[in-house]
Amino acid sequence: MELQVQRFEAPDESRSFARGRFDLLRAGGVVLGRATYEPGWRWSEHVGPLTGLSSCHVEHVGIVVSGRAMVRMDDGREVEMRAGDVFSVPPGHDSWVVGEETYVSIHLLGAEGYAKSDGDEVAREGGAR
Ranges assigned E (strand) in the chain: 13-17, 20-27, 30-37, 60-66, 68-73, 78-82, 86-89, 93-98, 103-109
Question: Per-residue pLDDT tens for 92-117?
Answer: 999 999 999 999 999 999 999 898 76
Residues 6 or more apart whose CB falls under 8 angstroms from that of 35 comprise 20, 21, 22, 62, 103, 104, 105, 107
Residues 6 or more apart whose CB falls under 8 angstroms from that of 57 comprise 91, 92, 121, 122, 125, 127, 128, 129
- pLDDT for 36 equals 98
Distance CA 47, CA 88 (A): 19
- pLDDT for 115 equals 86
Per the DSSP assignment, residues forming a β-bridge with 107 are: 33, 62
pTM of the predicted structure, to 2 decimals: 0.88
* Domains of the chain with CATH codes: 13-114 (2.60.120.10)
Contacts of 75-84 with CB under 8 Å at 24 or more apart are 81/105
Question: Per-residue pLDDT tens for 60-79?
Answer: 999 999 999 999 999 999 99
Question: Per-residue pLDDT tens for 25-63?
Answer: 999 889 999 999 999 999 999 999 988 999 999 999 999
Question: How many residues comprise the chain?
Answer: 129
